[in-house]
Amino acid sequence: RLKEIEGHVKFENIVFEYEAGRPALKNINLEAQAGQSIALVGHTGSGKSTIINLLCRFYDPVQGRVLIDGQDIRDVTLESLRSQVSIVLQDTFIFSGSIRDNIRYGRLDATDEEVELAAQAVNAHEFIKLLPDGYDTQVEERGNVLSMGERQLLSFARALLADPRVLILDEATASIDTETELKIQEALKTLLFGRTSFIIAHRLSTIRHADKIVVLDHGVVMEEGNHDEL
């Protein structure tokens, strides 16, 4: 069981294939110190999502190991892994229910106050307050009460409340107005603080702020370094 982990993540000699004979990851060695943010970049099909899939244990590697604080993630329960590793997907998952329930997802014990504090910390409180019923406003899975930017902020509030040690973020590509963009940047900083993060980054600002940029190409790491080095 993973308990009170630091958040050191290591991909060790990882080989993975979805279909026999067509490796999606060829020999990946990748390390994130606890608290570091890693931006994964590369062309479509280069293996970014696959790396994330392995870290979430949606799949297991064919060869090699994924370690968190030195422990193979295959040796911990999924429940324990899920409590320490959270993912914020590009297609931000909203379910039918209130805004409050949507933020509380993953932390059902959170009080109303905790929900609002999390929303405030990521600049979501402002827009939620303007909704007809505030935090009690009902939203639908495929509804359009919320803009893409607002959905993103909502998912940040959810992630902040869940407070995982390792955060995975598949950044939205949708074009977002400048004002919201700035809010998201600020919120991201708050959300990433003190956590290890892997970000499939699309925004230049996110890439620039990452501690390490990993450039993938056809399942191998082509380059690795920070923004100044690359």
Residues 146/154, Cβ–Cβ less than 8 Å? yes
Rounded to a whole number of angstroms, the minimum distance from the CB of residue 29 to Mg ion is 20
Rounded to a whole number of angstroms, the minimum distance from the CB of residue 217 to ligand ATP is 9
Rounded to a whole number of angstroms, the minimum distance from the CB of residue 197 to ligand ATP is 17
Q: For 227, what's the count of Cα atoms within 13 Å in the CB-facing half-sphere?
A: 11
If the CB atoms of residues 48 and 104 are measured against ligand ATP, the closer one turns out to be 48
Query: What DSSP character marks residue 150?
Result: H
The region, left, alpha or beta by phi > 0 then psi within -120 to 50, assigned to residue 163 is left
Residue 210 burial (10 A CB sphere; 0-12, 13-18, 19+): buried
Q: Binding Mg ion by CB under 5 A: which of 12, 17, 33, 49?
A: 49
Q: Which does 50 bind (CB under 5 to 8 A by kind): ligand ATP, Mg ion, none?
A: ligand ATP
Number of H helices, E strands in the chain: 8, 12
Please state, in angstroms and as integers, the Cα–Cα distance from residue 44 to each residue in 22, 48, 176, 200, 203, following that order: 16, 8, 22, 11, 16
Quick one: which segment of 44-52, 76-84, 92-100, 115-123 binds ligand ATP (CB under 6 A)? 44-52
Q: Any contact of residue 49 with ligand ATP (CB under 6 A)?
A: yes
Q: Binding residues for ligand ATP, how many (CB under 6 A)?
A: 11
Q: Any contact of residue 23 with ligand ATP (CB under 6 A)?
A: no
Name beta bridge partners: 14: 28
Token pair 């977002």: residue: 176
Q: Any contact of residue 27 with Mg ion (CB under 5 A)?
A: no
Q: Binding ligand ATP by CB under 6 A: which of 11, 36, 48, 201?
A: 48
Q: Which does 64 bind (CB under 5 to 8 A by kind): ligand ATP, Mg ion, none?
A: none
Q: Any contact of residue 46 with ligand ATP (CB under 6 A)?
A: yes
Name beta bridge partners: 206: none
Quick one: which segment of 45-53, 62-70, 184-192, 217-225 binds Mg ion (CB under 5 A)? 45-53
Query: What DSSP character marks residue 132?
Result: T
Q: Any contact of residue 59 with ligand ATP (CB under 6 A)?
A: no
If the CB atoms of residues 48 and 158 are measured against Mg ion, the closer one turns out to be 48
For residue 158, the one-letter residue type is R
Q: Which residues bind Mg ion (CB under 5 A)?
A: 48-49
Binding site residues, ligand ATP, CB under 6 A: 18-19, 24, 42, 44-50
